[in-house]
Structure 1
Amino acid sequence: MYLKRTIAILLSVLISGMSAMAQTTADTISTPQKYRHKTFFRVVGRTLGRFIRNFSEVDTNYIEPQKFNYTAMVQNTNTYEIYRIATTMGNDFTFAPLPTFKLGPYLGWRWIFLGYTFDLKNINSGDKRTEFDLSIYSSQLGVDLFYRKTGNDYKISKAQLDTEGKINTRPLNGMNYDGISVSIKGFNMYYIFNHKRFSYPAAFSQSTIQRKSCGSALCGIGYTRHSLSVDWEKLYNIVAENLGEETAERYMDPELKFKKINYTDISLSGGYGYNWVFARNWLAAASLSLALGYKSSSSDTNHSTFTFKDFSFHNFNIDGVGRFGIVWNNMRWYYGANAIIHTYNYHKSKFSTNNIFGSLNIYVGVNFGRMK
């Protein structure tokens, strides 16, 4: 009886010891794994946090960082656009739609600014003009996504039929012409070198305040897809009705008979911007960038995709963008105006187009949701 009890006690101790050893071994094995997982996520989190802080790091002697998470704004946008089409035979037409008057709301969260404006002037006219913009700003980088589609209210603002300009084309000035349609979509991305002291967002998204005057060099890349459609028969008839059938038949260039042209523009840009703080909470800003763009149209090649055989130095053209603004901002409230002008050029051996469009924005807004 005593022997059986002793054996039972020994077996119990042995089983308990083995169980404890197994648990210790399991803890010993699992602890490093848990530790490694915790360390990995901690390192990733710290790295990401450091990247975000460095991405928006500024010299507070020059720039006052944003103290609010959100912004709401109402903006009036007035746009102007001209489109010039010229041929080597001397046809040179400049078209311009009536200026638009748009009004719309914008909402922003830190780097992202999104809005949509409505054309109040042509709201019931059936005009199909649309515009969409999405801008993402930080101290170092900026991205603009855009989509523009013109309407049908173009007028002939200037015309020339011969290379010497001997033909009197004044009767064509101001004539309605709804045979041109243009759409542009794409993006621009730019880098600000002196981002710790120069704030591009302070001038154009009101997300920071420039406290001391400063400038910076800019560089960027861009991609745009252009679509141009011209109704040559309508244009020919307008010339014939106002200048005579004989003049139209003799001078109208058949190179304008194309129905539609699509071309892609890939560009590298460089420029300079300057922010001038001329009074407390006041800022005047100006920047100019020139872009070397390579333009490839669907008529350049018979291939379905671009190859190096299609490359031509004649496809390089100079584009540009200018930005000018003035703003008052005390961090809670802000108001101001800015003007943005874009130019695109496309030249072929017998045909060229120049597109210039700009907008004047007048806005008032408020920031809210103070950061903790």
Structure 2
Amino acid sequence: MMRRIILIILLFATLPAMSADLAADSCGARRDSSAFAELPWYKQLLANNFNINDQRIHYPKFAKFCVDVYNWGDRTFNTYDTTYVVGTGKNWKVMLKSFNWMESYSMYFSADSYLRMHSNLHSDLGAYLCFMAVSVGYTGNLNALAAGTKSRRNTFNFNFCCALFSATINYAKTSGGTKITHFGDYDLHHLNYKFDDVAQKTLTGAIYYFFNHSKYSQSAAYSFSKYQLKSAGTWIAGLSFSHQNISMDFNSLPQDMTAHLPNLHQQYYFHYTDYDVLGGYAYNWVIRPKKWLVNVTAMPSLGYKHAYEGTTDGKKHMFSGNGRLMLSGVYNHRSLFAALQANVEGHFYFAKGYTFVNSIESLSLIVGARF
């Protein structure tokens, strides 16, 4: 009984102090709210870490229109089943990316008579700052920096991905820096012949739809803006195009070498554009939710090839066949993430007497943080 009386006395003794603290907190909150309301809208965004849907922000008309359009697009194109896919809760990302790629060329005359060559490995290093769907950054050519020479290549990449679909545009221009690794039955075990008489310009693009878009997220595997909580896959369908401009001159090769591929022309010129329908399948394998994720995406495509004047052994109207394979392994640890990604994009040219295949292969290592 005495203990209860003491507790009651102590409670009443502390009530005035508690009331004073609550009053002080309330006044402080009102002062903070008033100070926030007096800020310009862009400073309000900065103060709340760019939470664009904060109801306290007083947007001007155009900015409010942009936010409304974004929210409509997010609801329409970026809605998921939250038992399978959730957002990361962060709008910002900073990333460091090592991008390594090469071109390969093959010419098949028969099963045991063919030519293979590939470029030297191109290495780029880039740093990027991303806010929601917008990214800015800089990529440096490590090959040129190491050799102290002017670059003989140019690249451009654009990627956009939401829940419903993905779109890509890729451009590459290179010349020289190639090695022949197989030439008929010439020096079958140790061939690594330097060959600079190759030039290539490639422009490709694709847009494709994810049928199981409510449960599968491509962004979880390739742009790190979502978490895939349960394993899921999806069929894919879309459209693609490919513009190829490739020249090869074999006049510089010694005669004792060219004798091992008697069907080889002295010069080749491949200039064409493909218009394809693509299909395929993608799968996200969740090893551990919000930790480990592995993705495989395969997309073959078929369609129409338009060959331009001067193309070697080409007709104006031809059959087109191409394909792409993408792999990604992602590790997340709280706000940090790391990924290893591989990509192969191949293009086929079916001529009388041979098949020509050119491709671009890449391997990327990415580390970053969300905030």
Query: 1:186/1:350 Cα in 2 relative to 1: closer, same or farther (>3 Å)?
Result: same
Deviations 1:307-339 (A, max 9, x none): xx964xxx2233211111111235632111111
Partner of 1:151: 175
For 2:153, the equivalent position in structure 1 comes to 129
Alignment match, 2:232: 214
Matched, 1:118 2:140: yes
Residue 329 of structure 1 aligns with an amino acid whose one-letter code is N
CA–CA distance in structure 2, aligned partners of residues 73 and 363 of structure 1: 7
Give 1:214's aligned amino acid: A
Superposed structure 1 runs of 4+ greater than 6 Å apart = 42-48
- 1:171 positional shift: 8.9
TM-score by structure 1 length?
Answer: 0.72
When normalised by structure 2's length, the TM-score is 0.72
What SS does the corresponding residue of 1:182 show, helix, strand or coil? strand
Question: Please, which runs of 5 or more residues in structure 2 have no aligned partner?
Answer: 1-63
- State the Cα distance separating 1:351 from its structure 2 match: 4.6
Distance 2:345 2:137 in 1: 20
Structure 1 unaligned spans of 5+: 1-41, 302-308
- Which amino acid in structure 2 is aligned with residue 286 of structure 1? V
Percent identity of paired positions between Structure 1 and Structure 2: 25
* Aligned twin of 1:233: 251
Query: Cα–Cα, structure 1 residues 351 and 285, in superposed 2: closer, same or farther, change >3 Å?
Result: same
CA RMSD of aligned residues (A): 3.1
Deviation at 1:188, TM superposition (A): 1.2
Where does 1:296-315 land on structure 2 (aligned, <5 Å)? 296-299=306-309, 311=317, 315=318
What is the CA-CA distance between 1:359 and the residue it aligns to? 1.0
The residue type equivalent to 1:97 in the other structure is: S
Offset, 1:353: 1.3
Matched letter for residue 368 of structure 2: G
CA-to-aligned-CA distance 1:55-74 (integer Å, 9 cap, x gap): 11111111112423332211
Q: Does 1:365 align with 2:368?
A: yes
User: Are 1:273 and 2:297 matched, yes or no?
Assistant: no
| Alpha carbons 2:204, 2:241 under 8 Å: kept | yes
Q: 2:104 aligns with which of 57, 82, 101?
A: 82
SS across alignment from 2:254? helix
Match of 2:299 among 280, 284, 289: 289
Shift of 1:261: 2.8
Deviations 1:61-116 (A, max 9, x none): 1111242333221101222331013458x973211112233211233332345655
Give the conservation status (yes or no) of the 8 Å contact 1:87–1:255: no
CA contact (8 A) 1:114 1:134 kept: no
For 1:233, what is the secondary structure of its paired residue? coil
Contact 2:95/2:369 (<8 A) preserved: yes
- Code of the residue aligned with 1:133 in structure 2: it is N
Q: Which moved more, 1:346-355 or 1:213-222?
A: 346-355
More relative contact order in 1 or in 2 (CA 8 Å, sep 6+)? 1
Structure 1 residues 340 and 310: alpha-carbon distance in aligned structure 2, compared to 1, 3 A threshold: closer
Q: CA-to-partner distance for each residue in 1:28-77, whole Å, 9 max, x for gaps?
A: xxxxxxxxxxxxxx999989854541211111111112423332211012
Secondary structure at 1:67's aligned position in 2?
A: coil
Shift of 1:172: 8.4
Give the letter aligned to residue 73 of structure 1.
M
Contact in 2 for aligned 1:96/1:155 (Cα 8 Å):
yes
Whole-angstrom distance in 1 between the partners of 2:215 and 2:336:
22
Q: Which residue of 1 aligns with 2:121?
A: 99
Compute the displacement of 1:279 (Å): 1.3
